[in-house]
Amino acid sequence: MTIDRIVLAFAGFVVLVSVALAHFHHPAWTWLTVFVGANLLQSAFTGFCPLALVLKAFGRKPGAAFD
C-alpha cells in the first residue's frame, strides 16, 4: 500500500470516527473533521502532509502525490 492510499484511508477513518463522536458524545468533535478536511485541501495544493512525512520515515513506498 502506497503512502497516498494510507493517507486517504487514514483521513477517511478519522472523519468517520469524528462524526460518530460528534453524534454520540459531543458536537465539538466536528472540529476534528474540519481539521482533517483543511489538511487534505492544503496538501492538495502544497504537497505537504505531516502523515506522509511520518510514513516516509518508516519506509513506506511513496505514490504519485507524496514522493
- Distances 11 to 8, 22, 40, 44, 56 between C-alpha atoms, Å: 5, 16, 8, 13, 17
Give tens-digit pLDDT for 24-59: 999 999 999 999 999 999 999 998 999 999 999 999
Residue ranges per structural domain of the chain: 3-57
- pTM summary value: 0.85
Place of cell 511520518: 54
**How far is Cα 47 from Cα 15, in angstroms, rounded to an integer?**
20
CB-based contacts of 26-29 (< 8 A; 24+ apart in sequence): none
The predicted structure's pLDDT at residue 7:
94
Length reported for the chain:
67
**How far is Cα 28 from Cα 47, in angstroms, rounded to an integer?**
28
